Amino acid sequence: MGFFSKKEKRISGEAKLLSRISELEEFIEGAPERIRKEMEEEITTMPPPDDLVDRRRERKFYYQLSRGEIRNEHRYQTRSAFLFVLLVTAILALSAWICSVLQAV
């Protein structure tokens, strides 16, 4: 009687092994399709924007500023641009004067 029980265990063990092998074969056969689906999902899924932190910081900055502070900043930038134009004009005028003096000599 003991001999038959070992044979039954061996048969059931073989059946489990065969079922496990068939599961693994199905897993391997389905791998290309599964990988393709994962790649498609990864491609179609949009990642979060890289500048999300910058946008939040800028929004917070403008929220904290009042309109007067923004107006003052524009005024300072305009004044700086005007001074830059004057500086470039002075450099060009001085260069022209130096060239005329050197040509006269």
Do residues 65 and 38 both lie within one domain?
Answer: no
- Are 81 and 55 within one domain? yes
pLDDT digits (tens, 9 = 90+) for 76-87: 999 999 999 999
Say whether pLDDT at 9 is over 70.
no
**pTM check: above 0.75:** no
DSSP assignment, residue 56?
H
Estimate to the nearest angstrom the gap between the alpha carbon of 46 and the chain centroid. Answer: 10
Total number of domains constituting the chain:
2
Please check whether residues 42 and 4 belong to one and the same domain.
yes
Domain shared by 58 and 103, yes or no: yes
DSSP state of 51: T
Owning domain of residue 4? 1-46
Give SS3 for 66. coil
Residues 7 and 32 in one domain: yes
Closest by Cα among 11, 12, 31, 32 to 23: 31
Q: Which residues lie closer than 8 Å to 55 by C-beta, 6 or more apart? A: 49
